[in-house]
Amino acid sequence: MQRTEVTAIIVAAKLKKCLKWADIAKKIGLSKEWTTAALMGQMTLDKKQATTIGKLLGLPPEAVDALQIVPYKGSLPSAIPTDPLIYRFYELINVYGTSIKALIHEEFGDGIMSAIDFSMDIQRETDPKGDRVKIVLNGKFLPYKTY
């Protein structure tokens, strides 16, 4: 069973059972961000987590198996995303990318922000002029090794 099929089954089951991503995340004791990414086919569950999710959503055994295999990552159908919500993030990198690079290097020197030792938090920020989306990206700084 392909991981994309597992994702489709999960999305349909979640809809039918009127569950929120945060509800599912709570069952395995992890954040809604990581859990959503895992169920969207980007992260790997351990046996216990997969079984719990499998029961909650009524997944077939092969789907439970598939959730425990490390997936070929990348969730977008094209190099430059066409979906407006996702494109805005691509645009931010295009507009702000060299600035982020300049500021991180000024503060930390040569290296990168890890996308692996990384966490993300998405919150609603209420605002009288219109509520806002607040996303916190938090990644370990990894300096380039000299040798």
3-class DSSP string for 75-129: CCCCCCCCCHHHHHHHHHHHHHHHHHHHHHHHHHCCEEEEEEEEEEEEEEECCCC
Exactly one of 5, 62, 91, 119 is catalytic; name it: 91
User: Could you tell me which residues come within 8 angstroms of residue 125 by beta carbon, excluding any fewer than 6 positions away?
Assistant: 131, 132, 133, 134
Exactly one of 114, 124, 125, 132 is catalytic; name it: 114
Which residues from 82-101 bind its own copies, rule CB under 8 A?
82-101
Residue 26 makes contact with its own copies by CB under 8 A: no
21 close to 56: Cβ distance less than 8 angstroms: no
Residue 13 makes contact with its own copies by CB under 8 A: no
Exactly one of 5, 62, 88, 119 is catalytic; name it: 88
Give the one residue of 27, 31, 51, 56 binding its own copies; rule: CB under 8 A.
31
Give the one residue of 26, 44, 55, 60 binding its own copies; rule: CB under 8 A.
44
Residue 115 makes contact with its own copies by CB under 8 A: yes
Residue 139 makes contact with its own copies by CB under 8 A: yes
Residue 48 makes contact with its own copies by CB under 8 A: no
Residue 128 CB burial class (10 angstroms; 0-12, 13-18, ≥19): exposed
